[in-house]
Structure 1
Amino acid sequence: MIKFKLEGEFIPLIALLKATGLVQSGGEAQSVVEEGLIKYNGTVDYRKRLKVRVGDKIEFLSKVIEVI
């Protein structure tokens, strides 16, 4: 599990995927979201502009990001 310390109110999903190193670029992040490869709190989510907040969990390629 990857623990990500949030510095503000939220972080956009695309930025979170890049910040944790799970994708190399914003374009790649958008593609994995569009393809339904992201789970947001246990449910597949297709929103590219999703605001991820403290307490949320993102799953991608059997990795889990917990936002703290």
Structure 2
Amino acid sequence: MREFKLTSEYVELVKLLKLLRIAQTGGHAKIIVEDGEVLRNGEPEFRKRAKLVKGDVIEVMGEKITIV
């Protein structure tokens, strides 16, 4: 389980994937989301620019990330 500390009100999903180096590029991040590889709080998340807030749990590629 990894934690991502917010420094603003929210972080967009594709930006989070790039910041944590889960995706190598923005295009790669978009493909990961479009392919349904991301779960947000246990539900599939297909919105690339979904605004993640404190308390959200993201699961992608075998990793769990908690937004704090």
TM-score (norm 2): 0.96
Equivalent in the alignment of 1:39: 39
Equivalent pairs counted in the alignment come to 68
User: Runs ≥4 in structure 1, deviation > 6 angstroms?
Assistant: none
TM-score (norm 1): 0.96
Equivalent in the alignment of 1:26: 26
* Aligned-pair Cα RMSD in Å: 0.6
Q: How big is each residue's C-alpha offset from its partner over 1:30-66, in whole Å with a ceiling of 9 and x where there is no partner?
A: 0010000000110011111100001101100110110
Q: Letter of the aligned partner of 2:27 in structure 1?
A: G
Q: Distance in 2 between matches of 1:64 and 1:47?
A: 18
Q: Letter of the aligned partner of 1:33 in structure 2?
A: V
- For structure 1, the 5+ residue unaligned runs are none
Percent identity between the aligned chains? 40
Equivalent in the alignment of 1:2: 2
